[in-house]
Structure 1
């Protein structure tokens, strides 16, 4: 399977100059598939956590968005139990001008700023709206329980 120059260039940049707190490593047998490890952003309920994600570049990338999901359990209103992520640039706001790096940085930013008004996990979003302090404590507990090596 031939890789586009763009995918090769983006991969080289990710490896040579990783975004802070994000490590993305392509699989040797499938260079469109990445193992991602993301540190929880400081001053967020996910601080101190190390989250595993998978990122896959579809055949028509960059015309379509990469597929990304969390493999580590996380308590977040925009990430469901299956690890799917509600993020506009992964859906209707995708643009070929965006890159893997941009996507990963946007996901990291989403960890810093959960948006319960555009939820994927409705129960978590409701908890966030009804009692934000308690929801943040639950997110911290889950981070301690599931996102530590």
Structure 2
């Protein structure tokens, strides 16, 4: 059941990807590991950046949520700013995940988060404080990290 659903969702995402998102398998032989390229949304400090996002699907998908992490380092309140790049998304928590949710919705939500961080649900408290209290500095550092880590030379 899960392989059929994953293959169908992959085909849909490849044929008509959401704006600013490109999807491919990390390894042709493994349906459960995806590489997602996400363009930084216009008007955000991530604009002009291209971020590599790893999506791992559990064998229990769609009954268990996928894991989404940024392979490209990013300065963001909802994404750990270490090499893991773990993402804090409410809809990906086991208790909030719905089997009817689709991967495209997860990816669109993740990209939306780049435009509109959710500091109240932050994984990086210091960045969330900065986002709330010194937004100009937050944007400046986020742009700097985007230039450094997410832009093709």
The TM-score range, normalised by the shorter chain, is: over 0.9
1:93 aligns with 2:92: no
SS of the equivalent of 1:55 reads: strand
Q: Which runs of 5 or more residues in structure 2 are unaligned?
A: none
Partner of 1:135: 138
Listed as ranges, the gaps of 5+ residues in structure 1 are none
CA separation in 2, counterparts of 1:59 and 1:90? 15
Segments of 4+ moved more than 6 angstroms: none
Following superposition of structure 1 onto structure 2, how do residues 1-149 of structure 1 map, counting pairs within 5 Å? 4-26=3-25, 27-81=27-81, 82-91=84-93, 92-149=95-152
Could you tell me how far apart the structure 1 residues matched to 2:9 and 2:15 are?
A: 10
**Superposed CA RMSD:** 1.3
* Structure 2 Cα separation of the partners of residues 35 and 133 of structure 1: 31
Task: State the secondary structure of the residue aligned to 1:11.
Answer: helix
